[in-house]
Amino acid sequence: MKKNIKLAKHAGFCYGVKRAVETTKKLKTENKDKEIFVLGELIHNSHVINELSNLGIHTVDELPCNNSSKCTNICVIRSHGAAPEVFENAKQKGYEVVDLTCLDVKKVQQKAIELVQDGFLLVIVGKPEHPEVCAIKANAQPHGEKVIVAPDVKSLESFEEEIKKHKRVGVVVQTTQRIENLQSVVNYLLPLSKELKVFNTICASTSLRQSEAKNLAKESDLMIVVGSKKSANTTHLAEILSGITSTIHIETDDELNNYKELIEKSTNIGITAGASTPDNIINNVMEKLNNY
């Protein structure tokens, strides 16, 4: 049976990730005499991290002391952003800091700061352990009293009394969250607060990717989501699509072998990929499927 295989238009690197990867590589080319350290994984994709490592770009959790007096090494801040102390610490250790925080993430940080400065109790909708969320919280917290991070409505319930007492509540959301999640948080907060200010800070790239993938899923009997299982936007895509049609989430084409039967019986197959999935990985998946 001939298969109809369709790749979503907005699959793979978003502009923020593209900028981070391209700029970091360029930094290495232009600064051969300097060591380049990226704080945390530049993007959630082990293939890209290995590629950077082969180019001599180090991924670290903590910056080593900068011993060289002749040359200033470079510290790269990834697209997720970082706490103000992280910038300060890098400068104190003598690093030149290159800030590649995505401009959309910067906007969330700015909105969060404005809300706490204006006296709102800030609620960040997102995963507490996600680096983007940690950075938003760390940037906002010094400007106000209290910041709540909640991945969903359930985790907000323990703050109910505090929310009622505060009356003025401001909301921002992790850039890669699902709009349905933001909606349910807003529905929960509305009756508890006197004034509720919401900034929908889901980035345009995520919204577009999700809505396009949903449409593709409606006309497909199988959706394949390609990308790291550590990537928030990729796992959200898989969650959304599995509510529409049969969906599998793979990191590389090798995993297709685990779903042979499912692929063989599917006629219309849609493919999408997270914002941190490189083109060559998507192309390998396409190629393997075309050979089925």
Residues that bind ligand SF4 (CB under 6 A): 14-17, 79, 102, 104-105, 175-176, 203, 205-206, 233, 275
Task: Please state at what angle helix 131-140 crosses helix 103-117, rounded to 10 degrees.
Answer: 40
**With respect to ligand SF4, which residue has the nearer C-beta, 175 or 220?**
175
Per the structure block, which two tokens stand in for 198? 């919401």
Q: Which residue is nearest to ligand SF4 (CB)?
A: 16
Q: How far is the CB of 163 from ligand SF4 (least distance, A)?
A: 27
Q: How far is the CB of 78 from ligand SF4 (least distance, A)?
A: 9
Measure the CA–CA gap between 51 and 25, rounded to whole angstroms: 10
Q: How far is the CB of 283 from ligand SF4 (least distance, A)?
A: 20
**With respect to ligand SF4, which residue has the nearer C-beta, 41 or 253?**
41
CB 254 within 8 A of CB 230: no
**With respect to ligand SF4, which residue has the nearer C-beta, 15 or 159?**
15
Q: How far is the CB of 128 from ligand SF4 (least distance, A)?
A: 18
Q: How far is the CB of 15 from ligand SF4 (least distance, A)?
A: 5
**With respect to ligand SF4, which residue has the nearer C-beta, 177 or 245?**
177
Per the structure block, which two tokens stand in for 122? 């800030």
255 as an active site residue: the answer is: no
Measure the CA–CA gap between 181 and 105, rounded to whole angstroms: 18
Strand pairing report for 121-125 and 96-99: unpaired
Dihedral over alpha carbons 65, 71, 77, 78 (to 10 degrees) = -110
Q: How far is the CB of 43 from ligand SF4 (least distance, A)?
A: 8
**With respect to ligand SF4, which residue has the nearer C-beta, 206 or 277?**
206
Measure the CA–CA gap between 240 and 233, rounded to whole angstroms: 11
**With respect to ligand SF4, which residue has the nearer C-beta, 139 or 205?**
205
CB 246 within 8 A of CB 231: no
Per the structure block, which two tokens stand in for 6? 């369709």
From the candidates 132, 162, 195, 287, give the one annotated as an active-site residue.
132
- Which residues does the annotation mark as catalytic? 132
